[in-house]
Amino acid sequence: MMLLIQHFLLPLLIFAHPYFVSVTEVEYRSKEKELGISCKFYTDDLEEALKKSSRENTDLRNGDKTKNQKLISAYIGQHLKVIIAEKQVQLRFIGFENDQEATWCYFEADGVLPFKKIDIEADFLYEIKKEQVNLVHVTIDGNRKSSKLSNPDKNISLSF
């Protein structure tokens, strides 16, 4: 039986989740001067990162929602920076939700004056996955641009 596990089941467990990717969507509406951000992670990867940063077991599906909100807000606050007009935008955490194997995290900022250039620093999950890729999509009034950050790259600059 042990031979069966070692040769057949263990490789399946190792390769059950072969991609390490997050997606960050940044949307700006100039009329409302609102910036909205959503970040999507594989739930198990995000839980592992939260566990490493907080040194506590984390269950995003069945755990304490208030505790999880604090952990997520702190983690993303350390690993995501949005800079407009040479100033870091203060993001407000709205919440998170689970969707099958993924967790979506939401942030917003109000009173953001129109801009033509945005700098983003994102290094999600690099501390746990050397293969991590972070996709970043920025949409300003319907005009969308995208970039890919592969560990260890963490900075992008987009002009509109």
Is residue 84 within 8 Å of 120, Cβ to Cβ? no
| Helix 65-79 × helix 43-54 angle, to 10° | 80
pTM beyond 0.95, yes or no: no
Is residue 149 within 8 Å of 133, Cβ to Cβ? yes
Per-residue pLDDT tens for 101-116? 999 999 999 999 999 9
User: Which residue in 42, 40, 38, 41 sits closest to 139, CA to CA?
Assistant: 38
Residue 47 has φ and ψ, to the nearest 5°, of: -60, -40
Confidence of residue 19 (pLDDT cuts 50, 70, 90): confident
Helices (H), 2-139: 2-4, 10-14, 43-54, 65-79
Is residue 119 within 8 Å of 7, Cβ to Cβ? no
- pLDDT value of position 15: 46
Cα within 13 Å of Cα(31), Cβ side: 2
